[in-house]
Chain A
Amino acid sequence: MERLSLHQFKVLGVAVLIGTTVLPLPSLVITAAGRDGWMSVIPGYAAAIPYGLLLLSLLKKFPGKNLLEISEEVLGKWVGKGIGLFYIAVMTYFGGLVISQAGRIYTNTIMPLTPEWVFHLGLTILVLLIGLGGIEVLARFSEVVFPMFLLSMAALMLFNISYLEDGELEPILAQGIIPVVKGSLKLLPFAMEYILFLAALLPFLPSDQFAQKNMKKSILQLSLFAGALGMLGVIINILSFGPGDFYRQDYGVITLANMVELRRTMSGGESILEMFGTGAIIIKGAAYYLAAHWGIKTVFGLKSKFWCLALAGAFFSVALMINRDVDMLIEIELVDKFVILPFAGLWIPGIWIIARWRKRGQT
């Protein structure tokens, strides 16, 4: 049985939490809280903490099982399989959207003439290869690639210092705390995206005694670290664009990278950022691929390579279905808000409450 180390668990967690969400994150919080949007980020990502703790609590009661298996045990076979089926559909559809997003970022910025399907196909193949390798391959990939993504982000912020507007964060809390809370609520789906992945990852969590002791702490650390990274990104965006200009941006980070001029050359820093950003997107895409793959294994018991290829085909098809940028952004927002958030928000506490209630009944 494959197992993650504690370090791999943390890096993978941060990568899935912040990986692609760092792109739309600033515009979401700025829309809600304006200049104070940066304050919304850490509380928003911290929503992953209670849900993560609930999952750990369930893992303790049902060792070695993922949440789909636990659901079948707690809610009965057919209800559990129904939830599993829905889970597979959500992970597949959202994974496809993540691939689509990556391709669209390329065609929107540095390679507009290349057909989108080329990016979608390339990314799907990479996701498939990682998926075939399993969770350890994904974890190792994250350990190598994600720090590079963070370094490229840090370099991007450093090189943009000369464009920062003094005092854009002031006045602080001029509109009160309510907009900040609203901003945090907008980020809840991001935390739930990770939690849904974690629900299927449970059997692969580190099992040694030291890791067991530190799992709760690790979830706390990775959520807060992802939140802090996101907050830094939002602060840089606000200082660079101001809330008004930033409100108009779909991907402010890319615009920011474009302003990093490689002296008297044609390309901007966005090509470098996108190179490492692709790595982050592959991590997230592969995470959803594996989650859907484990779901298929759990619900249908299908393990052959044919189903792996079929799943990759489904990812590719979803990515191809979206034709316009605005459609893709709205689709991601809708799935986040009306599918992932309510699904994870109800499913995990629901199972936890029922499992606890049944145990009490038994005792």
Chain B
Amino acid sequence: MRKCVINIGLIISMLFLSGCWGHREVEEMAWVMAVGIDQGSTPDSYLITYQVVLPKSGEGGGASSDSWTVSVEGKSVRDTAERVYNMLYKQPFLGTMEEIIIGDKVAKQGINDVVDFFQRYYRMRRTMHIMVTKGEAKDVLNTEPRFNQSASLTLMHIFDHNEKTSVYPPTRLERYLTLIHRDNSAQLLPVVNIIEPDDQQIQYEEKEKSKELEVRGAGVLRRDRLVDYLSDEETKGAMWLDDEVNERIITAVDEESGITLGGTVVSTKTDFSVSKEEGEECLHFNIKAHVVLNAVEGEWAMDQREWQEFLNEGEKKLANVIEGECQKAIQKAKDIKVDFIRAGRFVERKNPKYWSTVKDDWENILPDFPITVKADVTITHNGTARNGPVNWSE
């Protein structure tokens, strides 16, 4: 009898062991890749743009995807998500989100309210990128880049290879949430721009789909509000100071000889120290960079000794470029009285006692606070050829 009951129990239990309850096939889902947040038609509403990728089987057996973009106005992100659920024939899945794009107007009002949903909802991951645009996020997501990918996938790939250029801060949600809690918190968000032919020194043939997306520069946030934008050089300077540069293309021009040096920074480290000079605290940044020389342009020919001397000078020129970018970032921070270069945090780390006396008035102290930058560049490789393609006898 006992055996019989156990056997029946085991047979019945097989019904519950399929492991497929409530399953959803990948093809039945619509993957939300990016969300854009703009100001709605009333001050208390948002226009939320969703970009959804719909997987489909492609030609030749490979997988491909269609994208679908829709903007919905509502009081909150969650509020609008409900509308999207009722619009799509597939089930939207928010766990695949890679980007949050925030329009200029919303960013200027403060973004903490809209960010809350993304850091709380259980399907979201804090690794998603957060960025601002000078116009509307809706326009960014409605852009169809020429490679025929969706805007969200294009941005995802741009961020994937950010470390090859390090020209903008690739801020993820987790970093935003960490930095927002610091004293006098200020931080940078990358700026995504829509590029058109002949726009910003970029040229290409104008066709039906003629727009491209570019991530360049940074928006400055005081707490959670956008207060200003940085130029390309200022952003690059801030990246050096924050030790966020992995690889960087760098160019210096020797005005005397007219020779242009172009190289790739392959490794870099920014250290800082705080010292007392003439009775005042002073913050020093010390940047060490290793550069591989890629291009030396100009009319010249040198022997080994001259080449060695030239490289010594070249290292100084490249260091000047780095120092110049940093100085621009520092000056901008002082001008707008927002410590996006995190000078206060560096002071706090090295001299917490002094920091506790100045932290409440730091934004007013920053403009007169002495900050120095010293860059030290080593050209580790210069390629296999010394001279350029010039006629030696000439």
Contacts and interface: CB of A to CB of B under 8 A. Distances in A.
15 contacts: A163-B127, A163-B172, A165-B178, A171-B348, A171-B355, A174-B348, A241-B174, A243-B181, A244-B180, A245-B177, A247-B181, A259-B125, A261-B125, A266-B95, A268-B125
B96 interface: yes
Interface residues of B, number: 27
A328 to B, nearest CB: 17
Given A167-B349, A266-B93, A241 B177 contact: yes
Contact of A112 (B122, B178, B352, B353): B122
B243 interface: yes
A171 B349 contact: yes
B127 A245 contact: no
Nearest to A165: B178
Interface in B335-367: 345, 348-353, 355-356
Contacts of A110: 122
A266 B182 CA distance: 32
Nearest to A109: B122
Given A174-B356, A241-B178, A242-B182, 9 more contacts: A113-B22, A163-B127, A163-B175, A165-B178, A240-B174, A244-B178, A255-B126, A267-B95, A268-B125
A108 interface: yes
A100 interface: no
A243 B174 CA distance: 13
Given A170-B349, A242-B178, A244-B181, A259 B127 contact: yes
Interface in B230-262: 243
A108 B121 CA distance: 9
Interface size class of A (residues with CB under 8 A): 20 to 34
A268 B182 CA distance: 28
- A-B pairs, top 7 by smallest CB distance, nearest first, are A244-B181, A174-B352, A171-B352, A170-B349, A242-B178, A245-B177, A245-B178
Contacts of A223: none
Q: Which of B93, B175, B349, B351 gathers most chain A CB within 10 Å?
A: B349
Nearest to A269: B125
A166 interface: yes
A174 to B, nearest CB: 4
A266 B122 CA distance: 12
A174 B355 CA distance: 10
Contact of B180 (A240, A245, A266): A245
A163 B174 contact: yes
Contacts of B179: 242
A245 B181 contact: yes
A258 interface: yes
Nearest to B172: A163
A108 B127 CA distance: 19
A268 B125 CA distance: 8
Nearest to B351: A171
Contact of A258 (B125, B345, B355, B356): B125
Interface string B40-51: 000000000000
A9 B37 CA distance: 56
Contacts of B349: 167, 170-171
B127 A261 contact: yes
Interface string B167-201: 00000101101111110000000000000000000
Contact of A242 (B127, B181, B351): B181
A110 B121 CA distance: 11
Nearest to A170: B349
A171 B95 CA distance: 37
Nearest to A254: B122
A240 B174 CA distance: 8
A108 B123 CA distance: 10
Nearest to B22: A113
Given A163-B174, A171-B352, A244-B178, A259 B126 contact: yes
Contacts of A255: 126
A179 B176 CA distance: 27
A92 B353 CA distance: 49
Contacts of A163: 127, 172, 174-175
A244 B181 CA distance: 5
Q: Which of B122, B182, B356 has the most CB of A within 10 A?
A: B122
A33 to B, nearest CB: 14
B181 A258 contact: no
A108 B178 CA distance: 22
Contacts of B126: 255, 258-259
Contacts of B352: 171, 174
Contact of A108 (B93, B122, B182): B122
Contacts of A244: 178, 180-182
Contacts of B22: 113
A255 B125 CA distance: 8
A122 to B, nearest CB: 12
A258 B174 CA distance: 11
Interface string A247-258: 100000001001
A241 B177 CA distance: 8
A258 B120 CA distance: 12
A278 B132 CA distance: 40
Contacts of A267: 95
Nearest to B96: A266
A27 to B, nearest CB: 14
A146 B174 CA distance: 29
Contacts of B350: 170-171
B116 to A, nearest CB: 11
Interface in A203-250: 240-245, 247
Contacts of A245: 177-178, 180-181
Interface in A262-308: 266-268
A240 B182 CA distance: 14
Nearest to B353: A174
Contacts of A243: 181
A228 B11 CA distance: 48
Nearest to A167: B349
Contacts of A113: 22
A247 B182 CA distance: 12
A341 B351 CA distance: 38
Nearest to A264: B96
Interface in A95-122: 108-110, 112-113
A21 B345 CA distance: 32
